[in-house]
């Protein structure tokens, strides 16, 4: 039982990672100059990392002064899954 449960968890994690990596492919390439929320910089880093049990994609921009902005992949690629509806309150 435990092995099957672990295998299901690993399979789900691998599927989430693949989805985030596919979204990262749609972000600007390294070396590209971009403007996000008034910050203009060059893409110098892109990565996918497991953070608190969820896979996240991040793109880093660096401007001419050396300031860095970390931008979530969701800025360029919206969520593919619809948001969960809010639970209705009992009256």
DSSP at 82: P
Among candidate residues 47, 72, 53, the one with its CA nearest the CA of residue 13: 53
Per-residue pLDDT tens over the stretch 15-45: 889 988 999 888 889 999 999 888 899 999 9
Q: From the CA atom positions of the chain, what is the Rg in Å?
A: 17
Bridge-based pairing state of the strands 68-72 and 54-62: antiparallel
CA angle centred on 32, ends 29 and 36, rounded to 5°: 100
Pick 19 or 86 by higher pLDDT.
Answer: 19
Helices (H), the chain: 2-24
Give the pLDDT of residue 82: 46
Give the pLDDT of residue 8: 87
């Amino acid at each position: 039982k435990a092995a099957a449960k672990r295998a299901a968890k690993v399979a789900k994690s691998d599927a989430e990672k693949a989805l985030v990596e596919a979204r990262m492919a749609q972000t600007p390439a390294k070396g590209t100059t971009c403007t996000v929320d008034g910050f203009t910089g060059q893409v110098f880093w892109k990565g996918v990392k497991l953070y608190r049990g969820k896979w996240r994609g991040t793109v880093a921009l660096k401007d001419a002064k050396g300031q860095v902005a970390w931008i979530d992949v969701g800025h360029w690629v919206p969520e593919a899954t619809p948001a969960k509806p809010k639970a209705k309150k009992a009256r």
